[in-house]
């Protein structure tokens, strides 16, 4: 892989991109007058800008690289992460939850928990969230450094520090507005940078029909039905008959309900973009506008991974790659260049290189520079999303609440900039720790499962059941997180060894077919335990009077008025998005 | 469209895409006809065409910003 050489033109395109993202920060600096400007963009962002930022903040490294990798591992079924695992939750947060987030004037998700429940619930959420954002941004930073070393032979530390430095510069200067503006810019750059892969790749393999035909051989060789890689639902009845290793109930409940709603409806990283919108209607439309590109992303990020399986390298790059590759995806190698092999002596394929290998395979000098710039942009948008969420939660929910309650606004603005520097420094430190982990996506899903899975039960009860109390919410969350860890501790996916993969409390559950199946069921367990414990503890503790909960709970809040035209209403948009998603599921059934 | 913020997001995006697009068009024109240069992209001068597409997109982003003041 290391023989990809860049021409001067490729560096020119990268330089243009760097100049513009930093330029946006510089241009916005003079508008950052108060902490509200810095953390919430003064609540002045139009819906389409907030919507594209919403999706772009999520379109980080784990998305572009991870989904390409999953496309190669699981085929078209990977689009369940979009059509099942994102769209329904995005519609729900826009239609039903945004009125409480935006309407309560909370400045962050943890602050909503403080308004609705109590201080300790907020503290629990704020601290775990802050840790998680730093972890995520560290993981993506590490992935970036490693990738650019493998691909271009760039020095790992240097590329990590440059990328982190640029993100630091534009957020430090222009705060959330800078991050949002650059996320929109990065969104279009990612689309233009990666679309040629899908287009050229499809042309090369003979369109969708050609790809289906080519994947049949691969599918049969893996012991599945011929169309297992090109049909997303047909083999979901039985975990042993599809490459994902999950059955439909675990998929729909674990991914589609618990994990997906836990992420899209409660994660401040995305919700923050909608909170910055310029009106209630704009805030509600933000996730719905974001859902439109989201439902089409499988073509952009999953398809290249699938194509990578079916084309052959034009010339062998290294002797090792000559014997160990699937399609154009090379095997993992040790530092000395030897091919890694599993217990059956078969080479271990490095699926994370599927999309990068496509870049090197199809793009000539010029467009290669654009594709690599798009890759850098995706790393930066993901990192910036984490850093802006971190600096807000740190400043408002941790610093202002527990360290310095009544300082001037200028002081909190200063603190926000300091937290930006601190957050990025911690991310860089985490990047070195993250080196121990393997498939980025699976690890992130695991972390989300422990921390986020119980969360949605808390928000659901908080927003739609006025009887839920602070004690109930707090102990529900604690119990849910413990239940997640416990379930993970007593179960183990097929072929895995006891340890971080599970089973550390002893293997009691019959082995799951795949890590994903185990993760989904961990999430289901956590959610259910949190849901039940919250209800039980709430009923045993004193409820808050109704008048304190106006604007925070569904039954006590006036319905938002629809002042816009019929076709602009969130409800109309929601129906359009759901019908589109349903159609895609039917087409690729 | 820009709300309370004095910078329209379409301005930097439009300018960047026009700049990148024209750079690619120019490079595509310079490399046109070099034997083997476009083997990777199946013989298509992808720099030229994709550069053109990016320039048009950038122009479409810029148009409303440039004509807004009139």
Q: How confident is the model at residue A328 (pLDDT cuts 50, 70, 90)?
A: confident
| Spatial contact of A130 and A390, defined as CB atoms under 8 Å apart | yes
A183's CB contacts (< 8 A; 6+ apart) are A52, A53, A56, A57, A273, A381, A384, A385
Q: Do residues A176 and A269 both lie within one domain?
A: yes
Residue with tokens 């030229």: B48
A66's tokens: 């991870």
Please give the sequence-ordered ranges of beta strands (E in DSSP) within A431-558, or none if there are none. none
- Which residues in chain B have Cβ-Cβ distances shorter than 8 Å to A365? 27, 31, 37
Tell me, yes or no, whether B9 lies in a domain: no
Domain identity same for A456 and A504: yes
**What are the chain B neighbours of A278 within 8 Å (beta carbons)?**
3-4
Count of the separate structural domains present in chain B = 1
Q: Which of B4, B15, B16 sits opposite A44 (nearest CB)?
A: B4
Min distance A35 CA to chain B CA atoms (Å): 15
| Residue numbers of the domain that contains B40 | 25-68
Q: Does the pLDDT of residue A71 top 80, yes or no?
A: yes
Q: Name the H helices within A206-302.
A: 207-221, 248-249, 260-266, 268-275, 280-297
Contact assessment for residue A489 and residue A459, using Cβ atoms and an 8 Å cutoff:
no
Q: In 3D, which of A377, A202, A370, A308 has the Cα closest to residue B47?
A: A370
pLDDT digits (tens, 9 = 90+) for A168-184: 999 999 999 999 999 99
Q: What is the pLDDT of residue A156?
A: 86
Burial A281-291 (b: 16+ CB within 10 A, else e): bbbbbbbbbbb
Task: Examine residue B58 and state whether it is found in any structural domain, yes or no.
Answer: yes
Q: What are B34-65's pLDDT values in tens digits?
A: 888 898 888 899 999 999 999 999 999 999 98
Q: Could you tell me if residue B40 is inside a domain?
A: yes
**In which region does residue A118 sit, left (phi positive, over 0), alpha (psi from -120 to 50) or beta (all else)?**
beta
Q: Which two tokens stand for residue B36?
A: 């083997």
Asked whether residue A137 is domain-assigned, the answer is: yes
B41 to A364: CB separation less than 8 angstroms, yes or no? yes
My answer on whether A491 and A402 are in the same domain is: no
Question: Is the domain of A189 the same as that of A264?
Answer: yes
Alpha helices per DSSP H over A117-267: 119-152, 156-205, 207-221, 248-249, 260-266
pLDDT in the model for residue A436: 61
Exposure of A433 in the CB half-sphere (CA atoms within 13 A) = 10
Average pLDDT taken over every residue of chain A: 86
pLDDT at A123 over 90: yes
Q: Last residue of a domain, which of A401, A421, A441?
A: A441
B36 φ/ψ angles, rounded to the nearest 5 degrees: 80, -10
Residue A344 lies in a domain: no
Structure confidence at residue A562 (pLDDT): 64
For tokens 């496309």, name the residue: A71
Instruction: Enter the pTM of the model.
Output: 0.90
Least confident residue range of A32-41, A69-78, A426-435, A472-481: A426-435
Cβ of B5 within 8 Å of Cβ of A365? The answer is no
The pLDDT value recorded for residue A563 is 66
Helix (H, G, I), strand (E, B) or coil at A101: helix
- What distance separates the 2 farthest-apart alpha carbons in chain B? 53
| Residue A434 within a domain | yes
- CB proximity list for A496: less than 8 A, separation 6 or greater: A502, A503, A515
pLDDT confidence bin for B14, thresholds 50/70/90 = very high
**Residue with more model confidence, A23 or A316:** A23
Tokens of A198: 């899908």
Pick from A180, A199, A181: which is nearest to A191 by CA? A199
State how far residue B63 is from chain A, nearest Cα, in angstroms: 16
Interface of A with B in 281-320 (CB under 8 A): 314
Residue A581 falls within a domain, yes or no?
no
Best CA proximity match to A148, nearest among A2, A335, A17: A2
Q: Which helix (H) or strand (E) holds A475?
A: helix A470-490
- Flag whether pLDDT at A513 surpasses 50: yes
Give pLDDT tens digits for A251-260. Answer: 888 888 888 8
pLDDT digits (tens, 9 = 90+) for A376-402: 999 998 899 999 999 999 999 999 988
Q: State how far the Cα of A158 lies from the Cα of A136, in Å rounded to an integer.
A: 20
Give A520 to chain B, closest Cα distance, Å.
39
Asked, for residue A328, whether it belongs to a domain, the answer is no
Q: Residue A61: is its pLDDT beyond 80?
A: no
Q: What is d(CA A168, CA A422) in angstroms, rounded to the nearest whole number?
A: 10
Which of A471, A460, A453, A479 lies closest to A543 in space, CA to CA? A471
Does one domain contain both A226 and A287?
yes
The closest CB to that of A196, out of B5, B6, B46, belongs to: B46
Angle at A84 between CA A78 and CA A87, to 5 degrees: 115
Residue A31 to chain B, least CA–CA distance (Å) = 7
In this predicted structure, what is the pLDDT of residue A397?
A: 92
Rounded Cα–Cα distance for residues A245 and A263 (Å) = 22
Q: Is residue A112 very low, low, confident or very high in pLDDT (cuts 50, 70, 90)?
A: very high
- Work out the average pLDDT over A424-451: 71
**CB-based contact (8 Å) between A199 and chain B?**
no
Question: Could you tell me if A42 lies within 8 Å of chain B, comparing CB atoms?
Answer: yes
Do residue A435 and residue A512 come from a single domain?
A: no
Least confident of A82-86, A345-349, B22-26: A345-349
Exposed / middle / buried, residue B2 (Cβ in 10 Å: 0-12, 13-18, 19+): middle
Decide if pLDDT at B2 tops 80. Answer: no
Q: Three-class SS of residue A578?
A: helix
Residues A280 and A412 in one domain: yes
Tell which wins on pLDDT, A56 or B6.
Answer: A56
> Are A437 and A459 members of one domain?
no
Same-domain status, A76 and A151: yes
Range of weakest confidence among A135-149, A470-484, A522-536? A135-149
* Phi (first) and psi of residue A349, to 5 degrees: -80, 135
Interchain contact, B13 vs A362, CB within 8 Å: no
pLDDT digits (tens, 9 = 90+) for A150-171: 888 888 888 899 999 999 999 9
In 3D, which of A2, A56, A60 has the Cα closest to residue A356?
Answer: A2
Over the stretch A271-311, which tens digit does the pLDDT of each residue have? 999 999 998 889 999 999 999 999 899 999 999 999 998 88
Question: Taking chain B, what is the end-to-end CA distance rounded to the nearest angstrom?
Answer: 15
Write down which residue in A392, A407, A441 finishes a domain: A441
Query: B4–A23: do the CB atoms touch at under 8 Å?
Result: no
DSSP structure class, residue A437: -
Q: Give the pairing of strands A329-330 and A325-326.
A: antiparallel
Both tokens of A484, joined, read 């997640």
For chain B, counts of helices (H) and of strands (E): 2, 0
Give the percent of chain A with pLDDT over 70.
94
Let me know whether A401 and A535 are in one domain.
no
- Residue of B8, B32, B46 for testing the chain A interface, max A β-carbons within 10 Å: B46
Nearest to B41 among A177, A184, A363 (CB): A363
Q: Which residue has the tokens 């969130």?
A: A570
CATH code for the domain in which residue A231 is found: 1.20.1730.10
Residues of chain B neighbouring A362 (CB-CB closer than 8 A): 40-42
B23 is written with which tokens?
Answer: 């750079």
pLDDT given at position A315:
65
For residue A528, the enclosing domain spans: 452-558
Nearest residue on chain A to B46, judged by CA atoms?
A: A367
Write the pLDDT tens digit of every residue in A441-452: 456 656 666 777
User: Does residue A290 lie within any of the structural domains?
Assistant: yes
Report if residue A348 sits inside a domain.
Answer: no
Whether A192 has its CB under 8 Å from any CB of chain B: the answer is yes
- The three-state DSSP-derived secondary structure of A536-553 is HHHHHCCCCCHHHHCCCC
Q: Are residues A107 and A157 in the same domain?
A: yes
Q: Is A206 left (phi over 0), alpha (psi -120 to 50) or beta?
A: left
Q: Please give the structure tokens belonging to residue A202.
A: 């499809």
Q: How many CB pairs under 8 A join A and B?
A: 102
Our count of domains for chain A comes to 2
Residues A486 and A435 in one domain: no
Whether B3 maps to a domain, the answer reads: no
Look up tokens 């090379």; give the residue.
Answer: A330
A27 shares contact with chain B (CB less than 8 Å): yes
CB-CB contact of A311 with A121 (8 Å)? no
Of the candidates A297, A265, A323, the residue with the CA atom closest to the CA atom of residue A89: A265
Q: Of the given ranges (A85-94, A346-355, A428-437), which has the lowest mean pLDDT?
A: A428-437
Whole-number CA gyration radius for chain B:
16
Q: Is A189 a residue whose pLDDT tops 60? A: yes
Mean pLDDT, residues A92-120: 91
Q: What is the Cα–Cα distance from A425 to A432, expressed in whole angstroms?
A: 12
* Residue A318 pLDDT class (50, 70, 90 cuts): very low
| Of B3, B40, B50, Cβ closest to residue A46 | B3
Q: 3-class SS at A225?
A: coil
What's the confidence (pLDDT) of residue A493? 83
Per-residue pLDDT for A48 more than 60?
yes
φ and ψ at A512, to 5 degrees? -75, 155
Confidence of residue A236 (pLDDT cuts 50, 70, 90): confident
């Amino acid at each position: 892989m290391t023989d990809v050489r860049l021409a001067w033109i490729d560096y020119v395109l990268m330089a243009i991109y760097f100049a513009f993202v930093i330029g946006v920060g510089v241009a916005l600096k003079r508008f950052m007058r108060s902490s509200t400007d810095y953390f919430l963009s003064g609540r002045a962002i139009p819906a389409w800008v907030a919507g594209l930022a919403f999706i772009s903040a999520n379109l980080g490294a784990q998305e572009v690289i991870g989904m390409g990798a999953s496309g190669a591992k699981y085929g078209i079924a990977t689009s369940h992460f979009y059509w099942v695992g994102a769209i329904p939750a995005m519609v729900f947060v826009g239609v039903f939850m945004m009125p409480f987030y935006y309407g309560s004037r909370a400045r962050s998700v943890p602050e909503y928990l403080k308004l609705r429940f109590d201080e300790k619930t907020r503290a629990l959420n704020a601290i775990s969230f802050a840790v998680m954002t730093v972890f995520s941004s560290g993981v993506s930073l590490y992935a970036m450094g490693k990738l650019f070393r493998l691909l271009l032979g760039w020095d790992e530390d240097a590329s990590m520090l440059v990328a982190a430095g640029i993100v630091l510069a534009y957020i430090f200067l222009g705060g959330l507005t800078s991050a949002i503006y650059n996320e929109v810019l990065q969104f279009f750059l990612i689309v233009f940078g990666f679309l040629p892969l899908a287009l050229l790749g499809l042309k090369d393999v003979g369109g969708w029909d050609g790809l289906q035909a080519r994947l049949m051989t691969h599918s049969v060789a893996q012991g599945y039905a011929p169309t297992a890689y090109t049909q997303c639902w047909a083999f979901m009845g039985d975990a042993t008959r599809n490459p994902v290793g999950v059955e439909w109930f675990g998929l729909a409940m674990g991914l589609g309900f618990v994990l997906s709603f836990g992420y899209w409806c409660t994660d401040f990283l995305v919700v923050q973009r909608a909170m910055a919108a310029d009106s209630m209607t704009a805030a509600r439309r933000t996730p719905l506008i974001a859902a439109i590109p989201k439902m089409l992303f499988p073509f952009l990020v999953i398809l290249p991974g699938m194509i990578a399986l079916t084309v052959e390298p034009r010339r062998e790059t290294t002797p090792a790659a000559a014997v160990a590759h699937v399609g154009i995806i090379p095997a993992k190698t040790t530092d000395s260049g030897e091919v890694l092999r599993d217990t059956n002596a078969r080479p271990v394929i490095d699926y994370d290189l599927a999309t990068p290998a496509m870049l090197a395979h199809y793009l000539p000098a010029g467009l290669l520079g654009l594709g690599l710039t798009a890759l850098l942009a995706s790393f930066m948008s993901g990192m910036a999303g984490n850093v802006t969420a971190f600096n807000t939660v740190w400043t408002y929910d941790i610093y202002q609440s527990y360290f310095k309650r009544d300082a001037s606004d200028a002081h909190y603005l200063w603190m926000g900039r300091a937290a930006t520097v601190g957050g990025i420094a911690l991310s860089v430190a985490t990047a070195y720790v993250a080196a121990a982990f393997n498939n980025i996506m699976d690890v992130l899903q695991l972390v989300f499962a422990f921390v986020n899975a119980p969360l949605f039960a808390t928000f659901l009860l908080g927003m739609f059941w006025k009887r839920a109390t602070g004690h109930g919410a707090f102990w529900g969350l604690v119990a849910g997180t413990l239940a997640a860890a416990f379930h993970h501790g007593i179960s183990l996916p097929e072929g895995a060894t006891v340890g971080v993969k599970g089973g550390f409390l002893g293997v009691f559950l019959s082995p799951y077919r795949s890590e994903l199946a185990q993760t989904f069921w961990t999430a289901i367990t956590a959610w259910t335990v949190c849901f039940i414990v919250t209800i039980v503890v709430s009923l045993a503790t004193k409820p808050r009077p109704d008048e304190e909960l106006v604007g925070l709970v569904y039954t006590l809040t006036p319905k938002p008025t629809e002042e816009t035209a019929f076709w602009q209403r969130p409800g109309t948009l929601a129906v359009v998005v759901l019908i589109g998603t349903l159609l895609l599921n039917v087409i690729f059934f | 469209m820009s709300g309370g913020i004095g910078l329209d997001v379409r301005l930097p995006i439009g300018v960047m895409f026009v700049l990148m697009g024209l750079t690619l068009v120019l490079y595509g024109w310079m490399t046109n006809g070099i034997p083997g240069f476009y083997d990777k992209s199946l013989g298509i001068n992808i720099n030229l065409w994709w550069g053109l597409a990016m320039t048009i997109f950038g122009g479409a982003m810029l148009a409303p910003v440039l004509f807004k003041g009139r």
